[in-house]
Structure 1
């Protein structure tokens, strides 16, 4: 049985804190829409183009923006 994964943007939050920035800065400086930020807060999929913009903005690799984590709720819903 394969384990279910979900997206986490926790690395991005850490990278933002380290750079003294926040998600509002992403909205203002990159033009990221409120709906995209809401998706990120819920751990939903966003486009790779958005992730690329964030990587360029933070001058970092993708691992500092997004990661896959085990979805423990997937097992609970069975």
Structure 2
């Protein structure tokens, strides 16, 4: 049931811990992206939220490559 939450299927089997880690990272990316876009459109200081969003995306990609498969980045 957990792979359905990630909306992709790969040939590599994922452990339950890896899936939860990816979900938590993805939630953080989405939340930081929403905060970044809100501050950007309201013309507030976006430096901190932009850096946080960029770091969240980088960490998310690193977690996907380490815990999953590089082909996970395609889906």
- For normalisation by structure 1, the TM-score amounts to 0.29
Greater helix share, structure number: 2
Pair member with larger Rg: 2
- For normalisation by structure 2, the TM-score amounts to 0.30
Greater strand share, structure number: 1
